[in-house]
Structure 1
Amino acid sequence: MSLLPDPAATLEVTCAEVSGWSTLPESERPWLVDCREPEEWGICRIEGADLVPLGSFPEKIDALRQGASNGVVVYCHHGMRSLRATSFLRANGVESVFSMAGGIDAWSRTIDSEVPRY
């Protein structure tokens, strides 16, 4: 049974949902992908996420498909790039992919205030 919602119903998941999954074994969690740029990654990041800048998605589509066995959650700064990333991945055969609503800024405000805001 998937932790993620029905992809036909929504493009987004909440920060609270993503935070709740962080306690699960890695083999059961959705893959958390940060689609921001390396400079932004250097400012702050969510522990356990992998950096895959949005501009590199076309060349990394095979790796992104392979890493999607438990689904994918993509985040950015405020949620706009991650929505584009989600749409791109769905259009390229990755069905169970979602954007984290509000991005890392919402994460900092609602989940972990130790994550710097910028």
Structure 2
Amino acid sequence: MSEIELPVEALAARLEAGETPMILDVREPWEFEICHLDGAVNVPLGTLERGVDPAELADGRTVVVVCHHGARSLRATLWLRSKGVEGAINLTGGIDRWAGVVDPGMARY
């Protein structure tokens, strides 16, 4: 099994190098409206667990799962992996850490 956690610095480096992981943001829509990573797809955690076919996410790319601080995204990452999405990985510290370390101009809440 591959690593389950991805530091924000590592994601920033991957994006800078041209990688195109799927970024799955499991926060609520109101949170997503405040701030999000470019290209992120917003599927709240409850919706993900109730009605998304994990096979739709398993297109061979890494799925970087994001939330506010990393707890919901870890839960989603573990759920996705249990459903066969081996490329799911949790963004350590969530969007809050991203804003604090990578993009200080990003809105925070």
> Scaled by the length of structure 1, what TM-score is found?
0.83
Render the CA deviation track for 1:64-113: whole Å, top value 9, x for unaligned. 234xx121110100000000000000000111111000000000000001
Deviation at 1:22, TM superposition (A): 1.6
Aligned equivalents of 1:96, 1:42: Cα separation in 2 = 26
Match of 1:3 in 2: none
RMSD over equivalenced CA pairs, Å: 1.4
The answer to whether 1:54 aligns with 2:45 is: yes
Aligned equivalents of 1:83, 1:76: Cα separation in 2 = 9
The answer to whether 1:32 aligns with 2:34 is: no
Match of 1:84 in 2: 75
Match of 1:15 in 2: 8
User: Which of 94, 98, 104 is residue 103 of structure 1 equivalent to?
Assistant: 94
Percent sequence identity over aligned pairs:
40
Match of 2:57 in 1: 64
Deviation at 1:24, TM superposition (A): 4.2
Aligned equivalents of 2:73, 2:80: Cα separation in 1 = 10
Where does the alignment leave 5 or more consecutive residues of structure 2 unmatched? none
Secondary structure (helix, strand or coil) at the match of 1:83 reads: helix
Where does the alignment leave 5 or more consecutive residues of structure 1 unmatched? 1-5
Aligned equivalents of 1:60, 1:111: Cα separation in 2 = 30
Matched residue type, 2:41: D
> Scaled by the length of structure 2, what TM-score is found?
0.89
The count of corresponding residues between Structure 1 and Structure 2 is: 107
Matched residue type, 1:47: D
